Structure 1
Amino acid sequence: MAASSATVGSRSSRAVVLTVTCLGQFMVLLDNTIVGAALPDMQHRLHTQLTGLQWIVDAYVLLVAMLLLSGGVFADRFGRKRVYLTGATVFTAASLVCSLAPSLGWLVAGRVLQGIGAAALSPASLALLAAAHPVPQERIKAIGLWAGLSGIGLAAGPVAGGVLTQAFGWPAIFLVNVPVGAVLLLVGLRHLGESRNPSAPAIDIAGTVLSVLAVGVLTYGLIEGGARGWTSPVILGSFAAAVVLLGAFVAVEARRAAPILPLRLFGQRLFTVSNAAMVVVGFALMGSSFFFSQFFVYVQGSSLLRAGLQTLPVSLAMVIVSPYAGRLAARYGFRVVVTTGLALAGLGLLALGTVHADTGYGNVWWRLGLIGVGFALAMSPLTGAAIQAVSPRESGLASGISSTTRQIGAVLGVALLGAIVRTRQSSGASFETGLNSAFLAAGAVVLVTALSTGLWLVRSKSAEDGAAPHRCAEPAAVIPLNEESANSR
């Protein structure tokens, strides 16, 4: 692997790399949670319905989910610095487009561009950091700092979103990215060294395009089904197209020598079960958090700022608990920790499904905290289980697939839980009743998954106890990354 002296050189140059990569990941993670606080204001100012809000969130998450693995390969093949700065440029420009968007269509287009930028920026940032720290122990410490410091963006998102939206309106949550992106570009161009991996696999363009189209068409059907009618020819056609595209994706991946998603990995039960559970985690966490601010604003009458603060227990609990999840998994095993975490999250969602307009916050915050603790306990060990199921040389790929499945679950969660709320409303129920139904449905799915992991999430026969503990310690809230770039190949 070629690397310039600026990349692997002095302590001060490594500090610059750490600062730049953390700041970039902080910006992306902040965008994950800051949008939720602004959704009620977007709905009011853009004169859109629930469907429009779903597209604002899913347009971003969909592109991140489907392009993340390709982003890591791009960084390895064409240069980590080049891809990182390109991603930062696209993300910053897209943030400006979002802040100036005069309509829902323009905002969704800006979110698509943000997703493309994030899918390039995130894996490249980790790859740059790994290249700057060739010594394994130093690399582990640097990645821990990167994950922890950038993860603060998750906790800051709800508060920052509430403050900015309350004071300046929703465009401010995107405009704040512009100066941060400008600093990244100026410092990155001057101080980052280039590195690449000449032996990186070829880019699977066909697989990437088919995966984006398949999940995109499925998402369209789920989001628009409530508005157009589930038996509408357009909706039925979208579901049929999704099945055809998914079949084509499987056929293409099965024949490629270096597929973006090696299907043979799913022959390992540990890998399959952990990734299936990760889909449910993304589904329930993102799908339910989509409605948190809306509940506090529309059902309980909170201001935007107060609603942002009221949703804080979820992300705060995740940031605090996540670093300990890997240690617990190394001590007690993946199955115990994951099953316990999913059980706690499921119970928290069921409890949240019983709150009403007159429920005091003192009886709400602990439910949100329970959800955050539960998912924090589950996510990192699930990634660790997926890594343990494969050979060491494929650990980065396994981690990237695990993160991608979580994002796919997030796309489906926003679409499906939104469909539940919309369907309940169309049958004459109130928005509050629709939210309760969505939270209860999410909780039930998570509890069933907890039972499944308790039965089937067993350690691979060939795996060793305590495998990859530092990977399990990755904060669960960190946005998906293709960690293959971080490994020596």
Structure 2
Amino acid sequence: MSAIASSTSPQPSSSPGTTRNTNVTILLACLGVFASYLPVVGVAVALPVIQQALDASTAGLQWVTDAFILPTAALLLTCGMLGELYGRKKVYLAGLTLFCAGSLVCLTAPGIVLVCVGQALAGVGAAALLPSTLALISHVCPDRRKRARAIALWTASLGLGLTLGPVVNGVIVEHLSWRWIFLPSLVIGVMIVVVGMAFLKESRASRDPHLDVPGQLLAIVAITGLVYGVIEGGSAGWASPAVIAAFLVAGAAFVAFVVVELRSPCPMLDMRLFGSRAFSGAAFVMTVTLFAQVGLVFALSEYFGLVHHASTLDIGIRLLALNGFTVLLGPLVGRLMNRTGPGLLLVTGLVISGIGALCVCFFHASTDTGTAALVIAVLGVGIALAMAPITTIAMNSLPRRLAGTAGAANSALRQIGSALGPAVFGAVLTDRTLATLPAHLAESGLNPADQGQVGGVVAHVGIQAGAFLRLDTPTATERALSAYGASFTDALHMCALVSGIGMLVAAAVALVLIGVRNRSPHDATPEPATA
């Protein structure tokens, strides 16, 4: 970014513009991120139905969600750069168009392959959409206080998409065909495109029209290798040759990326920005927090479904508070950031969410819904207090003219953490359940033959099979299910421990690198040198 001029280009929207235009831009940015996050968790609700309808294999079903995550994470930095060079409005509308096209492909797909293709196309659209929404907000909100409030609304919109997705899709799956779960995103996306074409103002950074092609290619290879390695490691095993190769390629590409960016006259991501304590701290906290949050949500979803035998709609309702508080507390968090500073809210939120995650360690197989909802609410309040400040600190750590890069980096780290969470926590659930199941079976009173049968089914078919065990007698089945529930709950405790410690470590890092003083991190961050 060293070749970037010190001011934005003289576009008509260089100034904040009228209050009406500013509010419309913020609204469209929030609607865009809402639409892009609506299917992230919501599609997972319909996976069992999709598997039955299309006769999909387990591997094919896994790629329904992974096909969305992989291009989103890999292309975020590139799309952020394209928005800065060629116009944020153009990239925003292009991302929405691709997102709608992907939803349409999924809606009409005759087989699992085309569903994955549609998800991948929607993921490319999300990669273009996410950084441009933050860049648009930063451009029309030069005042950091108003920007903080707008980013809080942006975060609330993200949380609203994650919150409503499982519930809406759960209702659709129970009453209609699974195909219709892609219709809400398609309709909302088309409406936003029409309004955006009419009301959005174009803006871009003032810089030479030069793309950092080597840096972009290396970033794509590094992020793709990392995410692919984690995804495959959770299913094929961490010692698989393909997984090891993916991690080696990702590591080599990452080192090469750093070297190329340090030497490039116009880098995609100026590595010197990581010399800022606030930017580095926000980057670390963003990745760890999303890893811990999304991973624990995945583990809790499995717990409610496999141990409590809750329906997909019931699971969505039970997890409603986790992201729901991000929506409810969004405006309050925006005001609090201007009064107390984003650093203080960030540390406070991470501590509360860490405590909430550790409280999951007290769950057992028969924990009632009220107790679980209370713990999830504590976790949700902490996440609500932390998410908007993380994004605000990341955006304020860079000059306003680099808003697209800040938004891209913020979204890329969010997606990487979100991709790592389910894969790692899924491996923990499997390993811990298999390790503790023999002891719980021995304590259950089952005869050795039944113990061997149950252990063999869970080990060879998968831990999900334990929820549907059927033995010769009702008493034996009850004892087997009880042993399985205890083993799975032990695994959940390990996931909660990893999540809680991760969030508390993130709080400590935020306290040291970001601090809690009431100021914008960028106030103390020097401008990158111009070429």
Q: TM-score, normalising length from structure 2?
A: 0.75
Contact 1:98/1:110, CA 8 A, preserved across alignment:
yes
Map 1:36-185 onto structure 2 (within 5 A): 36-42=44-50, 45=53, 55-127=63-135, 152-185=160-193
1:249 is aligned to 2:257: yes
C-alpha deviations, 1:88-130, integer Å up to 9, x for none? 1110110122233444443333222111101222333455566
C-alpha deviation, 1:20, in angstroms: 4.6
Contact 2:156/2:330, CA 8 A, preserved across alignment:
no
Structure 2 counterpart of 1:458, from 505, 515, 520: 515
SS in 2 for 1:359: coil
Contact 1:51/1:223, CA 8 A, preserved across alignment:
no
Contact 2:87/2:203, CA 8 A, preserved across alignment:
yes
Identical positions, percent: 37
Match of 2:35 in 1: 27
Contact 1:21/1:129, CA 8 A, preserved across alignment:
yes
Aligned counterparts of 2:399 and 2:17: Cα–Cα separation in 1:
31
Structure 1 counterpart of 2:306, from 298, 313, 317: 298
Map 1:286-325 onto structure 2 (within 5 A): 286-325=294-333
Aligned counterparts of 2:71 and 2:408: Cα–Cα separation in 1:
15
Match of 1:239 in 2: 247
C-alpha deviation, 1:294, in angstroms: 3.3
Contact 1:95/1:110, CA 8 A, preserved across alignment:
yes
1:203 is aligned to 2:211: yes
Contact 1:51/1:224, CA 8 A, preserved across alignment:
no
Residue 278 and residue 417 in structure 1: after superposition, are their counterparts in 2 closer, same or farther (change >3 A)? same
Match of 1:437 in 2: 494
Rg comparison, structure with higher value: 2
C-alpha deviations, 1:251-310, integer Å up to 9, x for none? 221211222222112223333233212110110112222344333222211222222211
C-alpha deviation, 1:315, in angstroms: 1.0
What's the C-alpha RMSD, in Å, of the aligned pairs? 3.7
Contact 2:163/2:323, CA 8 A, preserved across alignment:
yes
| Unaligned ranges ≥5, structure 2 | 1-8, 438-462, 465-487, 523-531
Residue 54 and residue 252 in structure 1: after superposition, are their counterparts in 2 closer, same or farther (change >3 A)? farther
Map 1:271-420 onto structure 2 (within 5 A): 271-325=279-333, 327-332=335-340, 336-387=344-395, 397-398=405-406, 400-420=408-428
Contact 2:130/2:411, CA 8 A, preserved across alignment:
no
Aligned counterparts of 2:85 and 2:391: Cα–Cα separation in 1:
25
Aligned counterparts of 1:259 and 1:326: Cα–Cα separation in 2:
32
Residue 390 and residue 280 in structure 1: after superposition, are their counterparts in 2 closer, same or farther (change >3 A)? same
Match of 1:221 in 2: 229
Residue 328 and residue 272 in structure 1: after superposition, are their counterparts in 2 closer, same or farther (change >3 A)? same
SS in 1 for 2:329: helix
Match of 2:238 in 1: 230
Q: Which amino acid aligns with 1:313?
A: A
Match of 2:3 in 1: none
Aligned counterparts of 2:353 and 2:146: Cα–Cα separation in 1:
34
C-alpha deviations, 1:427-483, integer Å up to 9, x for none? 574553444432332223223333443445437xxxx843279xxxxxxxxxxxxxx
Task: Tell me whether 396-405 or 157-166 shows the greater mean CA deviation.
Answer: 396-405
Task: Tell me whether 293-302 or 272-281 shows the greater mean CA deviation.
Answer: 293-302
Aligned counterparts of 1:43 and 1:367: Cα–Cα separation in 2:
32
Match of 2:458 in 1: none
Q: Which amino acid aligns with 1:367?
A: V
Residue 320 and residue 109 in structure 1: after superposition, are their counterparts in 2 closer, same or farther (change >3 A)? same
C-alpha deviation, 1:28, in angstroms: 1.3
SS in 2 for 1:466: coil
Contact 1:226/1:422, CA 8 A, preserved across alignment:
no
Task: Tell me whether 369-378 or 18-27 shows the greater mean CA deviation.
Answer: 18-27
Residue 381 and residue 438 in structure 1: after superposition, are their counterparts in 2 closer, same or farther (change >3 A)? same
Aligned counterparts of 1:387 and 1:206: Cα–Cα separation in 2:
25
SS in 2 for 1:207: helix
Contact 1:202/1:258, CA 8 A, preserved across alignment:
yes
Match of 2:520 in 1: 467
Aligned counterparts of 2:330 and 2:173: Cα–Cα separation in 1:
29
Residue 11 and residue 179 in structure 1: after superposition, are their counterparts in 2 closer, same or farther (change >3 A)? same
Q: Which amino acid aligns with 2:520?
A: A
C-alpha deviation, 1:38, in angstroms: 3.0
Aligned counterparts of 1:341 and 1:194: Cα–Cα separation in 2:
36
Map 1:3-18 onto structure 2 (within 5 A): 3=11
C-alpha deviations, 1:150-177, integer Å up to 9, x for none? 7543432232122122222433221222
Aligned counterparts of 2:139 and 2:343: Cα–Cα separation in 1:
33
Task: Tell me whether 285-294 or 11-20 shows the greater mean CA deviation.
Answer: 11-20
Contact 2:83/2:404, CA 8 A, preserved across alignment:
no
C-alpha deviations, 1:37-61, integer Å up to 9, x for none? 3344445555667765654334323
Contact 1:54/1:418, CA 8 A, preserved across alignment:
no
Residue 135 and residue 410 in structure 1: after superposition, are their counterparts in 2 closer, same or farther (change >3 A)? closer
C-alpha deviation, 1:216, in angstroms: 1.9
Contact 2:289/2:502, CA 8 A, preserved across alignment:
no
Aligned counterparts of 1:129 and 1:274: Cα–Cα separation in 2:
19
